[in-house]
Amino acid sequence: MNTAKWKLLLLTAIVLSFGFGMAVNSFIREPSVKKNTMKKVTGIGGIFFKCKNPSEMKQWYKDHLGLETNEYGASFEWKEVADTSREGITQWSPFTEKTTYFEPSVKDFMINYRVDNLENLVAELRKEGVTIVDEMETYDYGKFIHIMDIEGNKIELWEPIDHKYDNNGKGKTE
């Protein structure tokens, strides 16, 4: 396996481990330890990364790791621990290395975080001086906006609409 594939596999493993760790931490943390502030991120909504050939990448993950891929990548369905009637997805999507979707970031990945109240969160982030990249967009599966972290990583914030997703997430893999 060449170095680029190892790096991509390692990056994917790190991001998935981080998301799993956040989920476990929020599950086992005592309620008294949690801050009494607005809930911000509720989970990982998606992991998006650049690659030379998204179709071949999806096929490799399907063949070797058993991911059920589609035109958008792969969707991991789950139920909330606190309310198992509430379902959600986490989207995994390879993008072409020439995509402009991650701009203004020059990084090869972007993480989508699920949030509860995007409008209030954006207002709070503006007060805190966080760079807001674009205007909020609303679709039938939720609201989206992009921000930048302090190291130039573009972050997608998503307030999902709680229903089965007709197209398995946002899923544009230009």
Domain limits of the chain?
3-160
**Can you tell me which residue has the tokens 């007060």?**
127
Q: What's the pLDDT score for residue 87?
A: 83
Compute the distance between CA of residue 122 and CA of residue 158 in angstroms, rounded to an integer: 11
Confidence tier at 172 by pLDDT (50, 70, 90): very low
Phi, psi dihedrals of residue 7, rounded to the nearest 5°: -60, -45
**Mean pLDDT score, 77-86:** 83
DSSP H helices in the chain: 3-28, 54-65, 118-127
Compute the distance between CA of residue 20 and CA of residue 6 in angstroms, rounded to an integer: 21
Compute the distance between CA of residue 89 and CA of residue 127 in angstroms, rounded to an integer: 30
pTM of the prediction? 0.71
Fold of 3-160: 2,3-Dihydroxybiphenyl 1,2-Dioxygenase; domain 1 (3.10.180)
* Per-residue pLDDT tens over the stretch 136-147: 999 998 999 999
Q: What's the pLDDT score for residue 103?
A: 94
User: Parallel, antiparallel, or unpaired: how do β-strands 154-160 and 109-115 relate?
Assistant: parallel
| Residue 51 pLDDT > 80 | yes
Confidence tier at 169 by pLDDT (50, 70, 90): very low
